[in-house]
Amino acid sequence: MTTITITYRIETAGSIEAMAAKIASDQSTGTFVAVPGETEELKARVAARVIAIRPLSDAAHPSWPELRAGDGQIKRADVDIAFPLDAVGTDLSALMTIAVGGVFSIRGMSGIRVVDMKLPQAFKGVYPGPQFGMAGSRRLTGVVGRPMIGTIVKPALGLRPDETAELVGELIGSGVDFIKDDEKLMSPAYSPLKERIAAIMPRLLDHEQKTGKKVMYAFGISAIDPDEMMRNHDLVLQAGGNCAVININSIGMGAMAFLRKRSGLVLHAHRNGWDVLTRHPGIGFDFKVWQQFWRLLGVDQFQINGIGVKYWEPDESFVESFDAVTTPLFDPSDCALPVAGSGQWGGQAPETYRRTGRTTDLLYLCGGGIVSHPGGPAAGVRAVTQAWEAAVADIPLDIYAKDHPELAASLEKFGSGKGE
Amino acid sequence: MTTITITYRIETAGSIEAMAAKIASDQSTGTFVAVPGETEELKARVAARVIAIRPLSDAAHPSWPELRAGDGQIKRADVDIAFPLDAVGTDLSALMTIAVGGVFSIRGMSGIRVVDMKLPQAFKGVYPGPQFGMAGSRRLTGVVGRPMIGTIVKPALGLRPDETAELVGELIGSGVDFIKDDEKLMSPAYSPLKERIAAIMPRLLDHEQKTGKKVMYAFGISAIDPDEMMRNHDLVLQAGGNCAVININSIGMGAMAFLRKRSGLVLHAHRNGWDVLTRHPGIGFDFKVWQQFWRLLGVDQFQINGIGVKYWEPDESFVESFDAVTTPLFDPSDCALPVAGSGQWGGQAPETYRRTGRTTDLLYLCGGGIVSHPGGPAAGVRAVTQAWEAAVADIPLDIYAKDHPELAASLEKFGSGKGE
């Protein structure tokens, strides 16, 4: 029987076996009392089944603080549950409802985290996946043999379109490959997307005509109404743009499916809000699971933090995320381009390179690390490029900086924790 | 200045004041280093500001286990931060991104929970809100003076359309006002929605013609592709149906906006997956905040668990949720009909009535509590109706049961914790 297999990390003061069986029952045929019609034949067709239990060390403290003193030892285990494909189908909202979302309500656990999901081949080809991904991003930016280097217009909020365009003009001149709106900037009254596009795009196109280099600019097109988001999308496309920032968690999976079906733009995903689903290690989702949904739906470029970020996320988690988005689900074309960002300035290049399989297939995104370089943005871009050259050549940054003054200036300003 | 005010419950081993200031800065103008352009004039226009800090007792244990031994006392406070409306606008995906979703990534906290959100009048009329709500649900079911009583087709998964229709026929005859697909049932291969509608709707229409009573049936129309969801919606509407179950978390906010704009059906929201956002009291969202988004987007009927449910949620949380969905945001018409469900059988009627302001304006949903009644579903519906009569009359159930045999049978089967 073809199945979807989900691995849950569960913790309970009760029986792990009983809890695993309860999840399988609750999330398929069961309810709180036996009902007529839940026959053995029906169960055989659609019931989820526990196929493996791998005990883990006890928890020192319950993840959800629902247990009372004296509730005893908190047992943990990884539990594999197989859902018949026939019971779920290939619809991602059904999969989310049945096998993922529903489990967090179950009583008697003090934590549950969805740590793996194995989809059968039946899902292959059902969803469009990324339209551009790594290859398309390289083709559109013309960057080969090194990471694409990107920056973010800052301050995040408050600039009017002409002020933004002024900054963008400076950034274009810096040699950067990619520029984006901060994810918080969409279409507020002081900077309507239409006006921002009108102010920015001529500069990008002018630069392309003069130099042959087209800087990829990701406009914040997210809107709660998918029709409006599509109008935003069309404005960018009609003006000659090729990329958009999508706040995937804020718009949700359905709106992403809607957009991807109609999209001509590279879809750059910002996952703001995701942290609440993953930050507690005993609760929620591993990114490895969650990103599968979004890649199937069509994310081209996936922001996944980076080494030494300004946020809570530990480096190890970034490394796992990088591995996740670059591991094919069914085909190499379904991978997303990893986007390393947050507090980046080049100093993290050697460790990023070393820990992600010595690849330069990424978009390396620096906000303040480029625009606040003492020599200005162009020097900032050169510094980041130099840091990556050093990383690939296995030359320590401080050595490479001796005859690369822009990198030296970055080390001076952002190094040794000064970037924080 | 018109503002959106969000209250965050934060915990940190550092300074509460510094953390509050950091949230306000990170979620509006700031980045990790000072950047040119973050002028005082710009900050005055768009920067978020901390307007109140109300200290709480220390936490005994960090919500996110990121703190190390020796990190010291864990301070907590409720912090009000005001976001200028000009900086955010009224788009709900912008609001979610800027003021809610983004905050969970911030380092240096061991927990943050969004516990209140006050939207200014500028949001009034921007979103459609519920199309039917309580009044529309009463009008369509013809129920006055008592709660609408509903049930769920069980087993949750696995029945083929003709088997479902057979059960539904029995349930229609029971006198119930409302029937729904289990939220896990959408359109799997063994029960395509189109065939399920074709099997069920004639029975509902036939019953209406014979008795004048139209039972509201909520079909599971959720689909990851909003276009497909709309086709599902249209199938229900064209067949004479008037209600649909929407797995709001699985489809996401954008798809809900898309559906509501085009909908002719009562939208019955199931919030599966929500628990992960709220179950840890130090992390995530209060329902009070989260439900505002969905009500503005157009939820008519909101499942909010109930008293003595089979899930983790405590009764107090249900009572607060009931209060939340029935408190106007801008106008009484923007309230959703509260749907009490999960493990209900009538025994919870007195406490539900007493703790929710002695109202009968709700949909009271019993799955096994009706279909597993020893006398069959019709006796189950009578038992639930009797329980509500007793609740409203302030007569203890065991007294009322003396001359109401169906209620007596329910008490015997489900009472004293036997329903678990």
Mutate to test the interface with B, among A29, A63, A276, A420 (most CBs of B within 10 A): A276
Which two tokens mark A135?
Answer: 């290859």
| Partner residue opposite B155 with nearest CB, options A42, A272, A281 | A42
CA–chain centroid gap for A54, Å, is 29
For the entire predicted model, the pTM comes to 0.96
pLDDT value of position A39:
76
pLDDT tens-digit series, residues B283-303:
999 999 999 999 999 999 999
Amino acid at A5: T
Q: Which residues of A touch B158 (CB under 8 A)?
A: 28-29, 38, 42-43, 45-47, 87
Mutate to test the interface with A, among B95, B100, B225 (most CBs of A within 10 A): B225
Q: Which residues of B touch A96 (CB under 8 A)?
A: 247, 249-250, 273
- Is residue B259 within 8 A of residue B227, CB to CB? The reply is no
- Is residue B6 within 8 A of residue B104, CB to CB? The reply is no
Which H or E element spans position A83? strand A74-84
Residues within 8 A of B (CB atoms), A 2-31 only: 27-31
Q: What is the mean pLDDT of residues B131-146?
A: 97
- Is residue A248 within 8 A of residue A294, CB to CB? The reply is yes
Amino acid at B140: L
Between the alpha carbon of residue B35 and those of residues A167, A372, A418, B32, the distances in Å are 11, 6, 15, 9
* Count of beta carbons in the 10 Å neighbourhood of residue A187: 22
Asked if A249 has any chain B CB less than 8 Å from its own CB, the reply is yes
* Interface size, chain A vs chain B, as Cβ–Cβ contacts under 8 Å: 357
Between the alpha carbon of residue B302 and those of residues A192, B247, B266, B267, B274, the distances in Å are 34, 11, 11, 9, 12
Q: Which residues of A touch B312 (CB under 8 A)?
A: 64, 66, 105-107, 109
What's the DSSP call for residue B418?
T
What's the DSSP call for residue B327?
S
Check whether B215 has a pLDDT greater than 80: yes
pLDDT truncated to tens, each residue of chain A (420 aa)?
A: 899 999 999 999 999 999 999 999 988 877 555 566 667 777 788 899 999 999 999 999 999 998 765 678 999 999 999 999 999 999 999 999 999 999 999 999 999 999 999 999 999 999 999 999 999 999 999 999 999 999 999 888 889 999 999 999 999 999 999 999 999 999 999 999 999 999 999 999 999 999 999 999 999 999 999 999 999 999 999 999 999 999 999 999 999 999 999 999 999 999 999 999 999 999 999 999 999 999 999 999 999 999 999 899 999 999 999 999 999 999 999 999 999 999 899 999 999 999 999 999 999 999 888 988 999 999 999 999 999 999 999 999 999 999 999 999 999 999 865 443
pLDDT value of position B156:
84
| Partner residue opposite B250 with nearest CB, options A88, A93, A184 | A93
Torsions phi, psi for B178 (to 5 deg): -150, 135
CATH 3.30.70.150 intervals, chain B: 3-123
Residues within 8 A of B (CB atoms), A 101-160 only: 101-102, 104-107, 109, 152, 154-159
Q: Given an 8 Å threshold on Cβ–Cβ distance, is A253 in contact with B224?
A: yes
Distance from CA of B228 to the nearest CA of A (A): 10
Q: Which residues of A touch B90 (CB under 8 A)?
A: none
Torsions phi, psi for A66 (to 5 deg): -90, -20
Query: In 3-state terms, what secondary structure has residue B354?
Result: helix
- Domain B133-414: top CATH class: alpha beta
pLDDT value of position B94:
97
pLDDT tens-digit series, residues B9-54:
999 999 999 999 999 998 888 755 556 666 777 778 889 999 999 9
> How high does pLDDT run on average in chain B?
94
Q: Which residues of A touch B157 (CB under 8 A)?
A: 28-29, 46, 87, 98
The percentage of residues in chain B with a pLDDT greater than 90, rounded to a whole number, is: 88
pLDDT value of position A419:
41
More confident residue, A28 or B352: B352
Q: What is the mean pLDDT of residues B347-354?
A: 97
Query: Is the omega angle on the peptide bond into residue B155 within 30 degrees of 0, that is, cis?
Result: yes
Q: Given an 8 Å threshold on Cβ–Cβ distance, is A311 in contact with B38?
A: no
Which two tokens mark A113?
Answer: 């985290």
Q: At what angle do helices A253-262 and B253-262 cross, to 10 degrees?
A: 80
Between the alpha carbon of residue A270 and those of residues A26, A185, A273, the distances in Å are 33, 12, 9
Q: Given an 8 Å threshold on Cβ–Cβ distance, is A97 in contact with B279?
A: no
Q: What is the mean pLDDT of residues B202-220?
A: 97
Check whether B137 has a pLDDT greater than 60: yes
pLDDT value of position B419:
41
How far is Cα B258 from Cα B192, in angstroms, rounded to an integer?
23
CATH architecture label of A3-123: 2-Layer Sandwich (3.30)
CA angle in degrees (0–180, nearest 5) for A48-A51-A56: 120
- Is residue B342 within 8 A of residue B306, CB to CB? The reply is yes
Which two tokens mark B238?
Answer: 């064209």
Tell which residue, B238, B200, B179, has the closest CA to residue B365: B179
How far is Cα A242 from Cα A239, in angstroms, rounded to an integer?
9
Identify the sign of the CA torsion B28, B34, B36, B41.
Answer: positive
What contacts A136, CB < 8 A, 6 or more positions away?
A: A130, A266, A300
pLDDT value of position B418:
42
CATH 3.20.20.110 intervals, chain B: 133-414
Which pLDDT band holds residue B420 (cuts at 50, 70, 90)?
A: very low
What's the DSSP call for residue A238?
H
Query: Is the omega angle on the peptide bond into residue A155 within 30 degrees of 0, that is, cis?
Result: yes
Q: Which residues of B touch A315 (CB under 8 A)?
A: none
